[in-house]
Amino acid sequence: MNNKYTELLDFDREHLWHPYTSMAKPLPSYLVESAQGVEIKLASGETLIDGMSSWWSVLHGYNHPVLNQALLTQAQEFSHIMFGGLTHQPAIDLGKKLIDLTPNTLDKVFFSDSGSVAVEVALKMALQYWQSKGQADKHRIMTVKNGYHGDTFAAMSVCDPVTGMHQIFEKVLMKSIFAPAPRIFINETWHDDELIELEALFKKHHHETAAFIIEPIVQGTGGMRFYHPNYLKAVRQLCDQYRVLFIADEIATGLGRTGKLFACEWADISPDIMCLGKTLTGGYLTLAATLCTAEIAQTISEGEASCFMHGPTYMANPLACAVANASIDLLIKQDWQGKIKKIEQQFQQELIPLKQFDKVANTRVLGSIGVVETTHAVNVAIIQKRFVELGVWIRPFGKLIYIMPPLVINNSQISQLVCAIKAVLSEDACFID
């Protein structure tokens, strides 16, 4: 690596704060020179197979010509315009697409900047809805343990109370109601005992509960856990029975990752509010959407404030909407289910057998998501370095080594990802005793 790159990395280490990283003892960062398809080229010369889709956002691979053109075409018209009092075709087209694709009760769309903000918007919608109905006592949120919904304040308040950020910020967070995490996995036999504690919480707290929020089928950062669809069905029924709004956080699962276009489809249910993000623009720009029913939108609009109290500066950014439209069209016009099924089958053949290793507690696969749960926590700095040496980009956390590659990945590239995981499982230095 030449002096220019060394200087860049030195500045980065000294001045740029990376996610979940100490400035006192920062984890190493690797300088990217370019990216194409599923390959990331580092300035130091290595080419890495991307197993992370840049935190689950890159759907069609990097530097895709169709998505590139969508950005260029829109940029020649206008790159941004305020959404207050003005509108534009990219936002209108995207709204139409999302209404057509999502469950049929969702027909109002609120655009925002990121997934975490989409959750904030959803929670504010629920709270303002009950306020507008004259039931301000319904001001708490119910959720499940092991969940993750983002890093902003309201979103933090519904993340797992132990593995989340409650210990640091508990004095200023909303006091949410936590049900036990779903225990029955998607491929296990269902039994109704799973619902005893959940039903008791609804019965006890429904009078003060505005909404129940959950990641459908896949609990992501809270443990990469794939739970049974009957749990979602039960939540929908309980929300109806006790007059609680149901929020589905599809930020990680939306647009095909689980093998269904939306994970709610596993249970054939429709939420009252749905959050989308991450993959929405194919990994190009930050954009999110919160969809709700007409009844929620009408109630809020007829309430005391006469409007919904939120409005980001970059709401419905035209560049982001344009590339989101192109990304969704790319997905829908291809055999996306066949591609995900092919990835899933190869994961089942190659990744599932890694459960034979002593350091592996469990392996599991759903759609284009593959997970190796280890018995010991990973040493992030060491295991990351080893993955780079093995020609892959995989970023584990805790006891989870997982992959969720772009849909354009081929068989040999998947095999390289799995072989790299297999290699580190035999190396004690990659794990913390």
Using a CB cutoff of 8 Å and minimum separation of 24, what contacts does 1-7 make? 1/31, 1/43, 1/44, 1/45, 5/31, 5/43, 5/44
3-state SS class at 148:
coil
Q: Which of 20, 193, 333, 335 is catalytic?
A: 20
Q: Which of 129, 148, 231, 314 is catalytic?
A: 148
**Partners of 289 in the beta sheet?**
111, 276
| DSSP secondary structure string for all residues of 248-314 | EE-TTTTTTTTSSSSGGGGTT---SEEEE-GGGGTTSS--EEEEE-HHHHHHHHTSTTSS-S---TT
3-state SS class at 428:
helix
Q: Which of 337, 350, 331 is nearest to 403 (CA)?
A: 350
Name, in order, each residue with C-beta under 8 angstroms of 293's C-beta and a sequence gap of 6 or more: 105, 106, 107, 108, 272, 273
Structural contact between residues 263 and 216, judged by C-beta atoms closer than 8 angstroms: yes
The yes-or-no answer on residue 402 being catalytic is no
Q: State how far the Cα of 420 lies from the Cα of 96, in Å rounded to an integer.
A: 42
Q: Which of 124, 90, 34, 88 is nearest to 322 (CA)?
A: 90
Q: Which of 50, 113, 249, 272 is catalytic?
A: 249
> CA separation (Å) from 137 to 127, 206, 208, 300?
10, 10, 5, 16
> CA separation (Å) from 144 to 118, 160, 191, 264?
19, 7, 18, 16
3-state SS class at 325:
helix
Structural contact between residues 152 and 144, judged by C-beta atoms closer than 8 angstroms: no
Q: State how far the Cα of 256 lies from the Cα of 355, in Å rounded to an integer.
A: 26
The yes-or-no answer on residue 193 being catalytic is no
Structural contact between residues 269 and 237, judged by C-beta atoms closer than 8 angstroms: no
3-state SS class at 21:
coil
Q: State how far the Cα of 280 lies from the Cα of 124, in Å rounded to an integer.
A: 22
Q: Which of 138, 278, 359, 399 is catalytic?
A: 278
The yes-or-no answer on residue 148 being catalytic is yes
How is residue 318 written in tokens? 């035209």
Active-site amino acid positions? 20, 148, 249, 278
